[in-house]
Amino acid sequence: MVKAIVGANWGDEGKGKITDMLAETSDIIVRFQGGANAGHTIVNNYGKFALHTLPSGVFYDHTTSIIGNGVALNIPVLFNEIKSITDKGVPAPKILVSDRAQIVMPYHVLFDEYEEERLGKASFGSTKSGIAPFYSDKYAKIGFQVQELFDEEYLMKKLERVCETKNVLLEHLYHKPKLVPAELFETLMEYRKMVEPYVCDVSLYLWNAVKEGKNILLEGQLGSLKDPDHGIYPMVTSSSTLAAYGAIGAGLPPYEIKQVITVVKAYSSAVGAGAFVSEIFGDEADELRRRGGDGGEYGATTGRPRRMGWFDCVATKYGCRIQGTTDVAFTVLDVLGYLDKIPVCVGYEIDGKVTTDFPTTHLLEKAKPVLEVLDGWNCDIRGIRKYEELPENCRKYIEFVEGQIGFPITMVSNGPKREDIIYR
């Protein structure tokens, strides 16, 4: 059975924790999109880890971790990540990398930096991991698949061809040093050594795994609102963050995805630029940021402070719908225990009209939040394992959100650890 774990919002909803938890009963965990630009934070017996490329199942010895063809594969990052976890005493994980995954080239990272620098104030707030230049090249058909590393003659010719156009931009648009194909070739030979032990025909592997009845998790990165089609374009990421893309980015039949677990955080946070209707500022935001997540709401990749906001029912209802949600995992609820009153965004006012349907970007810029204020529960709910044992106001908060978004909350996460979970 194949399950997808995805985010409903701007990312950082706690997908890593839910994946790590569900990995216990899974055989295979697949990353199907995105790259080392975002990260999952996982806390377990071995310590606290920020994973950027590896799926969140690498801490079990019964699972196989897969980098699907849809991922932007940064080979040295992958290599160092494997090393960082084995250095901390985690047994060497079983890893497979799709032979069709494409490689983040050193110049993708450079172009990402140069372009953000050129845009100045109008920049996207990119993490400068090379993701946008990577996916641009993939769709411009000048990307490099892992399997191409094994044909040296072909590789060298292609590098020469690609560098020709890149160098025009480097010289005349960015005024930066030009690329040297022979140097890139040497780097790619290093990459080949690093990745060789893991290369696999992943879609065939998964096809057979499905036939054998294996449990497979597809792990998404970021969330619905960062999807290039359905998100807040252009302030989005460059690969689809939707469960549907899980089929493509892993190489599985779409009808095999039987469950879509959409992770929803009990309040909002976002990184990067773009409209964020329920955003809060000042001391109110600082306090939520400081108390948020596990050790504060700061980017897992960049360490930058996340933008904070109240729970947004409009964005989340939409985010869940576009994912094709079967189950909602409602996370980080424990953090709200300090509040007497908890505002929730239940509508957007746009040009004097209130809507609960998430609009396209140019209207979103004009939206003002319509807030409803719920009573807080004013206590620590960590350690509670049964739904009925949650304080009444806490249950009311969950049920209010569930009613507004229209998708069943079947899991409530009340702490960062695997066991901090309440099934409903």
Which residues contact ligand GDP (rule: CB under 6 A)?
A: 7, 11-17, 38, 40-41, 43, 293-294, 300, 331-332, 334-335, 413-416, 420
What's the token pair of residue 86? 């084995």
Q: How far is the CB of 179 from ligand GDP (least distance, A)?
A: 33
Q: How far is the CB of 12 from ligand GDP (least distance, A)?
A: 4
Counts for the chain of helices (H) and strands (E), in that order: 12, 21
* DSSP conformational letter for 212: T
| Of residues 9 and 404, the one with the C-beta less far from ligand GDP | 9
Q: How far is the CB of 414 from ligand GDP (least distance, A)?
A: 5
Angle at alpha carbon of residue 145, lines to 143 and 149, rounded to 5°: 115
| Of residues 39 and 93, the one with the C-beta less far from ligand GDP | 39
Q: How far is the CB of 134 from ligand GDP (least distance, A)?
A: 19
In 157-235, at which residue ranges do the beta strands (DSSP E only) sit?
A: 199-200, 216-219
* DSSP conformational letter for 121: G
| Of residues 38 and 75, the one with the C-beta less far from ligand GDP | 38
| Of residues 203 and 331, the one with the C-beta less far from ligand GDP | 331
Collect all residues with Cβ–Cβ distance below 8 Å to 185 and sequence separation of at least 6: 152, 155, 156, 159
| Of residues 99 and 334, the one with the C-beta less far from ligand GDP | 334
Q: How far is the CB of 357 from ligand GDP (least distance, A)?
A: 25
Q: Are strands 64-67 and 327-331 parallel, antiparallel or unpaired?
A: unpaired
In 351-424, at which residue ranges do the beta strands (DSSP E only) sit?
A: 353-355, 368-375, 409-413, 421-423
Residue found under tokens 């919002």: 9
Residues marked as catalytic = 12, 40
Q: Is 229 exposed, middle or buried (0-12, 13-18, 19+ CB in 10 A)?
A: exposed
| Of residues 93 and 299, the one with the C-beta less far from ligand GDP | 299
What are 409's strand-pairing partners?
328
Distance CA 309, CA 343 (A): 10
Q: How far is the CB of 328 from ligand GDP (least distance, A)?
A: 13
When computed from its CA atoms, the radius of gyration of the chain, rounded to whole angstroms, is 22
My answer on whether omega of the bond before 234 falls inside 30° of 0, hence cis, is yes
Q: How far is the CB of 130 from ligand GDP (least distance, A)?
A: 19
Closest C-alpha among 307, 262, 230, 278 to residue 411: 262
Distance CA 275, CA 236 (A): 11
What are 345's strand-pairing partners?
312, 371
* Contact status, residue 375 vs residue 396, Cβ threshold 8 Å: yes
| Of residues 188 and 335, the one with the C-beta less far from ligand GDP | 335
Widest pairwise Cα distance in the chain: 68
Give the CB-nearest residue to ligand GDP: 16
